[in-house]
Every structure is written in C-alpha cells, then in structure tokens.
Structure 1
Amino acid sequence: MPIAATLRGVTPTGTDPNLRHADPSDAAPKQAAGATPVAAPPDAVAPPAVAGAARRFQPLLIALAAALFAVAIVGVWQVVAAPRQAEAARHRLADGYHLVAGGYFSGSEHEEHRAGGVTEVRFRWDESVLHTFAFSLDNPGGHPVVVEEVSRDPGMFRIVDVEVSTPGGRRPFQPVEIAPGRHLVLVLTLRTEAPSGGPCARAWTETLLVRYTVLGVSRSEPVQTRQVIGFQVPGESC
C-alpha cells in the first residue's frame, strides 16, 4: 500500500488552502500617520545663474580657442616654412650678385694694342717665361663677399701664384673679404702653355674665374677684365 507523504503547505492536490501567502504590498515601507510625504528628487540640472554665466562666456571661450589655434599655426610656419623661405630668398639674392673688374691694371713686360675702343695687353707667348699682372676686383653690391679663389680654365695659361696687394706691400693670398662698395687688388703670376701655332700666332682671353661666398652661398663666376689679356708667339713679321 503506497505511503502518502504530506508536506507542510503541499498536498497531493496542490497548495494548502490554510497556508498564508505573502502580499507584495507588505514589502513597501509604511509611512507613519500624519508624516509629510517625501517627493522623489528631481533630475539634476544646473542652477539658472551658472547656466547664464556659461552662455555669456561662450563667445569669449570660442575667441580664445581661435586665438590659440592661430598662434599654433604661426608657430608651425616659423619652424617649418619661414626658414625655407629665408633660404630661398638668400639664394635668389646670391644668384643675382656679381663682382666686376675695376679700372686698375699693371703688368710685367707687355705691349698695349688698342682697336675699336678695346685695349689688349699682349704678353710674349713663351712657356719658359713667367708673367705677372695686377688688377682690381670690385664689389658693387650691398653685401660683403669673401673671395676664395681666382683661377683660369685649362688652356693657354695657368695661374701659378696669387697675391693680395696692400698699401704695405704684397702678401700671399688667402680668403679675403671685400666690403660693399670697396675693391681688392690681386696680383697674378702665370705661365703660358706651349704655343699651339707658329710665329706670330696669337691667343687671348677676357675673363678670370672667381670663386667667392656671399650671404653664406658659395658662387663661382667668370669676371670680365677691363683689358683683353693676349699672348703672341714671337716672329719677325708680327
């Protein structure tokens, strides 16, 4: 015979009708009689005075942010773009700079020939003879220049020595500065190459190659001499 097990509050047919169930309303706290009802706190909002102040300062904050942005842009330009522009301007000025040969000239034994307003200083074309001549180099621009070298393209003659002429005498050449509007007297010693022709053969040049620095930029340019520098092989019918 099956044993019927009876649990408290549970019967084979369902819930014990004598068992008391909890009422959900019992969990809510009861308010004492006569107490003032407590309202739920409203959503947090800014006090009207604070909100008004924020609106008044908003244009100022926007202007301040714009000013800081402009300062940042200027700072970047000064760091990156300004040096490049200054460098480009410096090179443009240097590229347009020129030295000129002045009017002073003196030389070792030579002959002068004039034709059509051009003066030729003519030396003997003999590779066994050293020739010297002095000429002035002028700086007509508005910036100091440092002369670093005076040379000649290969052919006809080569420069074997350069000196600087000063009121106290000659001194060996070394890089020397020419102030704006001033000049420098250089003394060149040169030797011709072997003549390329027979008696009375001639050759000449009007330029010397000068390397100098101006505005920190190194330049090399042919400087035209005031006189044509000529050489002639000796001959009876010259």
Structure 2
Amino acid sequence: MLPPQPEHTNIPFSAEPDTFDQHLIQLGVLPVSPHRLMDALAQDGLNIKSLSVPSHLSESIPQEYIYVVSKLRFEAYRAIWIMRYCDFWYRKRFEFLCPAQANIYIQHKRSVQLLLGWDDFNTPIRASPSPADPKLPQDLIFLRTDRCTYATYFQFHHTTVWNTRLGVYYARYYRYLVVAKHILERDPLPSGVSEKLDTWWQGEFLAEMKKWLDASQKVLFAPSYDAAVNELATVITGKIEDGIQMEQTFKHA
C-alpha cells in the first residue's frame, strides 16, 4: 500500500489495477468509441486493418468470437494508455525531488522546465535545443531536494511499471485469448474457413498485438533518488552560468 501522498505531488491514484481504470474514466479515456480506439492503436504503430476479422470470414464464424476480438482490441487500447502514463510520470521525475510545500514545488517545477526546455506537459518546447543557446542566470533557478517526497513518487512509479511489465493491468487480455480459443473448440469451423481464420489470427492479429506487448517490456523505471539528483545536476552544469558551483550546492543540499 502506498504511503499518504503529499498534496503538491498530484499523484491522482494508487498503482493498484482497480484505481487505474477509475482514473482513466475521470480523464475521459474510458469509455471509448470504436473509432477513437482504432485511432489510438494506429497512433501507436499498429496496423488497424489487421485487427478486425476479415469481412469475407465474418459471416462464417460465431458472433461471440467477433465480440471477443473487439474486447482484445479494447484491452490493447487500455494497455497502451497505461504505458503512456508510465512514460508521462517518468518524465515528471525531477519535479518530485523537492520538498512537499506547494510554494517550493511551484518554483522548483518552473526551474526544472527552464533547465530542460520543457512545457507544462513535460515535453520539449523545441525538438533539438542548440548547444549555442545562452546559459541561464543562476537567479532564475530555484531547486531543492527531499528524499521523502521522491520516495513516494518512486514507489508509485516503480509499482506501476512492474505491474505493466508483468501484465497485471492487462490480465484480461490473456483471458480473452483463452476465451477466443475455447469458442472455436466448442463450435468447430469448416476446414477451409478455419485455415483462413488461423492465417489471419496468427499472421496478422497476434503479430500486431505483439507490438504493444513487446513495448510493455521496455517501459522505463524511474531512477533512484541519487541517480535522479545526479542526472539533474549534470543538466545544471551545462545550462546555468557558473553551473559547476550550483551543481555542487544542489547535489549536497
């Protein structure tokens, strides 16, 4: 169980599976229309033409099977959103290095965004900052460190990533695979139809699903407190006037 969360951290849910769905509902990610679901899968690099039962087969197979295929697509959509959130919270790691007081957090967050050239959504303002960019004066930067605040964030993110890598959040996907197999075992198809369906299932559908399953194993864990401090300290050295002095102060605060 996660410890109580400092108010300023705005971690909106625990890493437990049931609360994740509740949060996605609050964000409007769930429920989702079929069109928006397919758009999201396409944006993540899946070939959506391969994710639906071919039309020339759809009249020859149980409608229950087609329904299960739609549930598999939904679980893929949901899993992709969870991975996006793992990445989103990974990019927030430097924000959680500071104490919990709201006024300190606001100044610290703005300083991190200045140093990294990020906007309020933690994405780069420019695709590739130039090494020739002028360095920031020290008086624009206000950074503080606090192990306890980072520990709360670290535990949340670490648990979320572990659940993602181990398939906890999309266990239903695997259950639906079993259900799909059971339907065809219960109601065998004519041999010609069965072979064509298996060709699509193995060669297209599962091949596309493998893309996000593989991606789930590459979701990054947040670094340790010391590693995050050192990472931000390196940025300080390169981006701030007389950065070496400020880097040492920051690392040993």
**TM-score (norm: length of structure 1):** 0.23
Q: Whose radius of gyration is greater, 1 or 2? A: 1
More helix by percentage: 2
